[in-house]
Amino acid sequence: PAVIRREDYTPPAWLVPEVSLDFALGVDGTRVVSDLLVRRNAPGQPLRLSGDGIAAREVLVDGRPSNHWRMEGADLVIDLEGDEHRVSIETALNPAANSQLMGLYASNGMLCTQCEAEGFRRITFHPDRPDVLSVYRVRMAGPKADFPILLSNGNCVASGEGPPNENGEDTHWAEWHDPWPKPSYLFALVAGDLVATSDSFTTMNGRKVDLNIWVRPGDESRTHHAMRSLINSMKWDEEAFGREYDLDLFNIVAVSDFNMGAMENKGLNVFNTRYVLADPETATDGDYDAVEGVIGHEYFHNWSGNRITCRDWFQLSLKEGFTVLRDQMFSAAMGSEPVKRIEDVRVLRAAQFPEDSGPLAHPIRPDSYQEISNFYTATVYNKGAEVIRMMRSMANFGAGADRFRKGTDLYFDRHDGEAATCEDFVKAIEDGAGLDLTRFRLWYSQAGTPRVTARLAHEGDVATLHLTQEVPLTPGQASKQPMPIPLRLALFDRASGKHGGEQLVVLDQAEASFTFPGHAEAPVLSLNRGFSAPVAIDAATSQEDLVFLAAHDDDPFARYEALQSLIVRHLVAAAAEELSDDERFTGRHAIASAIAAVLDDTALDDLMRGELLILPGEGYLAEQFAQADPTAIRREREGLKGWLAQALLARFTALHDRASAVPFSLEAAARGARKVKTQALVYLAAGAPEEAARRAAAQYDAADNMTDRQGALMTLCGLDTPGRAEKLADFHARYAGNALVIDKWFSLQAGSLHGDALAHVKALADHPDFTLGNPNRVRSLYMAFAANPAAFHDPSGEGYRIIADLILALDPINAQTAARFVPSLGRWRRIEPARAAMMRAELERIAAAPSLSRDTFEQVTRSLG
Ligand code: HT7
Ligand code: ZN
């Protein structure tokens, strides 16, 4: 397949100011007529329209059949003489046969579209690139009984009854008009049997916007949290970024077959049901947060993505990184800011750090790709958000005003209506916020997580901080330059437990030293507070100082970090078998006293307490090794957890008792109670399994909400106890027919700590509820399995075989979803040699398969390379 390079960008040869689409809808057969007004933008070039798996039934130019067109590969090329023409093309589609879920497809009898990034070309021939912006008019007609609701972007401008069709069915039609020019990837159409929950929002300038959330009949009662989140998003974007919604109507549709989380189509967002439907009986607190975050994210795209879109797909982080930052800020404002920050860093470390240190590493603005779908990554999204967050910290630190906001205001003003670049964004922040970001731009072009070392020296009354940085080499980037790294820090006085104010230092060279007078005694360094830079820090902080920070740091993230470092350091040494018995004992005791302090600290709220109690994940621990041994990591992590549970048994049972007495509500205190309740069970399961099994079974039976029920079932899933099978059967029967909850049933088993998890996954693949046809179901079983190191890395290599078989079976059905499983095998270089060889062999087996999709081919070859 061809490699597309960022440096090869050229402006479009033809613009398309107007698009008119006419759909004759049917689940097994839909006819599309596309009418384009095309205007020449560069001399001498034919009109080149991209297609993918479609054929033109008829091509008209200026109303007359044309024979000046030809197919070049999948593209339709038309020779045109003049500077402006009307081109009309008819295509025929079979949505029911579209299992890739890109373009127009059927989901439970309903028709819907997914066009980002290159799905529009599966509907009709088009210059399907984000820098061609058009005003769309869409007409659709179809049988009323199959498609009572007909939706597209913008406003519905006309509708009516049609004549009976060839099957004698009553038909109807609707016409939609979207006044805002948009690229083809933001086009959407939905037709089906849907019901709406409706509300309205009045914007800051007094315009009333009608809001609808469309779901399948029966699901209406589960949309209220999504609606509340939407209204909160609209209000928050006005207050935090001055952004007002710009249509009179905002529709959201929930679909159960969807490749990603949601899609920000102009005025018609399409969502995976998972990020819309929530009620206490079927959704956990985590699910509630995810709905709020994704609803916000898609809504915020209306400005950061739709009003200002991307010039080309290399600029994806322009809209995704910025929008992730915006959704993170929104969720922080709606809930607990420190807890949200810790969660976001945990996600970054679990998903993005491994990307940055593996064969698929790429900068947040990639330089080349074969299949753009492979670049919707944690790097583009989450690291992209961190990079913009750093600009925000540098702009706002110590400034009385929100200087970052001046930068974003300028960006929105300057580029409204344009297809922009990451460079445009940086320049606007530079100009608006008054920063010099010359060297900072390296964050856009260099991949890899920088490693910072910090050493604090003390002489007289001066503390000196020596910092170094190294940006690791990554595939295709053989040399790296130092980047500006903004580090928030504080120096604590040991005696008082206080510091004299937070400071910001920017490390912009390979090494630098910073002096801090006024410290009669050597202070304790608290560095990268709030995770001000997405880097790995080696500060060689003593165990004593980590314990000090874990108890005293007034920055909640830094406190969490100190505790995590204490545990990571211990577990890494233990898994590497570097600890004497004595060292193991003192290490565990230090951790136990820090955890006891967290359990006893009455000033902490339970949401934060629950966060602090989460041990570093196995994936993050594996990242600390050049070649990890997943068995040793699991053994040591579970061993520590069990030891802590026994050492602090009375505290954990008391915590579980206290939290169990808190009645259900969606308020923070009750959510916190549920969080620590599950954490208590997690510890008890490792150190007092019978006690945990008894408590979990009772919690399961008493549960009046999914958070408690899922937490209890998760605990039981990891144990050898009769309650395990009993409650799993109960859960399956209780929620039969509720796809999202049955997904949980699969995930809990595939991700469990049970020693037979691998065997369970094999059996579940044959369960009648399992299907490769639904991405949520596939992910619920196999993503949970691939993220369960002890099962996936079974020494037999069977886990690797299972994932490779899955990729091969899924690739022809849904290539995008199949390709997303490749990175788990692609980590082979970072795993101990015996397993690494088996992982590599499975990648080679996939690579040798005939007719792999471009998606899977690219990921497999990069992983082997
Ligand atoms: N912008 C949306 C991306 C998306 C997508 C990309 C490829 C294939 C299917 C997809 N569905 C949605 C999601 C977002 O970031 O908001
Ligand atoms: Zn997005």
How does pLDDT run across 422-436, given as a tens digit for each residue? 999 999 999 999 999
**CATH number for the domain harbouring residue 76:** 2.60.40.1730
Pocket test for ligand 1, best of 102, 107, 257, 260 (most atoms within 8 A of CB): 260
Mean pLDDT, rounded, of the chain: 98
- Reduced 3-state DSSP string for 725-787: HHHHHHHHHHCCCCHHHHHHHHHHHHCCCCCCHHHHHHHHHCCCCCCCCCHHHHHHHHHHHHC
How does pLDDT run across 570-586, given as a tens digit for each residue? 999 999 999 999 999 99
Q: Is 473 found in the same domain as 414?
A: no
**CATH number for the domain harbouring residue 498:** 2.60.40.1840
**Is residue 730 assigned to a domain?**
no
Half-sphere exposure of 483 (CA within 13 A, CB side): 27
**Is residue 8 assigned to a domain?**
no
Last residue of a domain, one of 426, 445, 464: 445
Nearest to 305 by CA among 319, 323, 326: 319
Residue 544 bears catalytic tag: no
Q: How confident is the model at residue 777 (pLDDT cuts 50, 70, 90)?
A: very high
DSSP 265: -
Q: Is 687 found in the same domain as 792?
A: no
Query: What separation in Å is there between the alpha carbon of 234 and the centre of ligand 1?
Result: 21
**Is residue 512 assigned to a domain?**
yes
Q: Is 342 found in the same domain as 225?
A: no
Predicted confidence (pLDDT) at residue 285 exceeds the cutoff of 90? yes
Q: Is 459 found in the same domain as 426?
A: no
**Is residue 24 assigned to a domain?**
yes
Please tell me the distance from the alpha carbon of residue 269 to that of residue 853, in angstroms, as a whole number: 28
Pocket test for ligand 1, best of 112, 263, 320 (most atoms within 8 A of CB): 263
How does pLDDT run across 623-657, given as a tens digit for each residue? 999 999 999 999 999 999 999 999 999 999 999 99
Query: What separation in Å is there between the alpha carbon of 116 and the centre of ligand 1?
Result: 6
Q: Report which protein residue has its CA nearest ligand 1's atom 10.
A: 260
- Per-residue pLDDT, 400: 86
Q: Is 285 found in the same domain as 333?
A: no
**CATH number for the domain harbouring residue 843:** 1.25.50.10
Total of domains in the chain: 7
Q: Is 373 in the pocket of ligand 1 (CB under 6 A)?
A: yes
How many residues appear in the chain?
Answer: 865
DSSP 53: S
Q: Is 436 found in the same domain as 547?
A: no
How does pLDDT run across 479-531, given as a tens digit for each residue? 999 999 999 999 999 999 999 999 999 999 999 999 999 999 999 999 999 99
What percentage of the chain exceeds 70 in pLDDT?
Answer: 100
The two tokens of residue 70 are 């030809």
How does pLDDT run across 309-346, given as a tens digit for each residue? 999 999 999 999 999 999 999 999 999 999 999 999 99
For range 180-186, the mean pLDDT: 99
Q: Which ligand is nearest to the CA of 186?
A: 1
**Is residue 307 assigned to a domain?**
no
- Per-residue pLDDT, 263: 99
Last residue of a domain, one of 283, 302, 321: 302
Q: Is 220 found in the same domain as 117?
A: no
**Is residue 2 assigned to a domain?**
no
- Per-residue pLDDT, 504: 98
How does pLDDT run across 434-455, given as a tens digit for each residue? 999 999 999 999 999 999 999 9
Predicted confidence (pLDDT) at residue 401 exceeds the cutoff of 90? no
For range 169-176, the mean pLDDT: 98
Query: What separation in Å is there between the alpha carbon of 299 and the centre of ligand 2?
Result: 9
Q: Report which protein residue has its CA nearest ligand 1's atom 12.
A: 263
Q: Is 287 in the pocket of ligand 1 (CB under 6 A)?
A: no
Predicted confidence (pLDDT) at residue 291 exceeds the cutoff of 90? yes
Q: Is 533 found in the same domain as 550?
A: no
**CATH number for the domain harbouring residue 286:** 3.30.2010.30
Please tell me the distance from the alpha carbon of residue 826 to that of residue 843, in angstroms, as a whole number: 8
Q: Is 265 found in the same domain as 140?
A: no
**Is residue 342 assigned to a domain?**
yes
Q: Is 465 found in the same domain as 421?
A: no
Catalytic pick from 175, 264, 298, 430? Answer: 298
Q: Is 283 found in the same domain as 225?
A: yes
Q: Report which protein residue has its CA nearest ligand 1's atom 1.
A: 263
- Per-residue pLDDT, 496: 95
Please tell me the distance from the alpha carbon of residue 855 to that of residue 565, in angstroms, as a whole number: 37
Query: Whole domain around residue 553: which residue ranges?
Result: 541-647
Is residue 132 a contact partner of residue 311, using CB atoms and an 8 Å limit? no
Q: Report which protein residue has its CA nearest ligand 1's atom 11.
A: 260
Q: Is 117 in the pocket of ligand 1 (CB under 6 A)?
A: yes
Predicted confidence (pLDDT) at residue 209 exceeds the cutoff of 90? yes
Last residue of a domain, one of 722, 751, 781: 722
Q: Is 784 found in the same domain as 702?
A: no
Q: Is 259 in the pocket of ligand 1 (CB under 6 A)?
A: yes
Atom of ligand 1 nearest to the CA of 101: 9
The two tokens of residue 31 are 């006819």
Phi/psi for 255 (5° steps) reads: -125, 145
Query: What separation in Å is there between the alpha carbon of 320 and the centre of ligand 1?
Result: 9
**Is residue 756 assigned to a domain?**
yes
pTM (two decimals): 0.99
Query: What separation in Å is there between the alpha carbon of 771 and the centre of ligand 1?
Result: 22
Query: What separation in Å is there between the alpha carbon of 298 and the centre of ligand 1?
Result: 10
Q: Is 196 in the pocket of ligand 1 (CB under 6 A)?
A: no
**For tokens 């109690």, what's the residue?**
613
Q: Is 819 in the pocket of ligand 1 (CB under 6 A)?
A: no
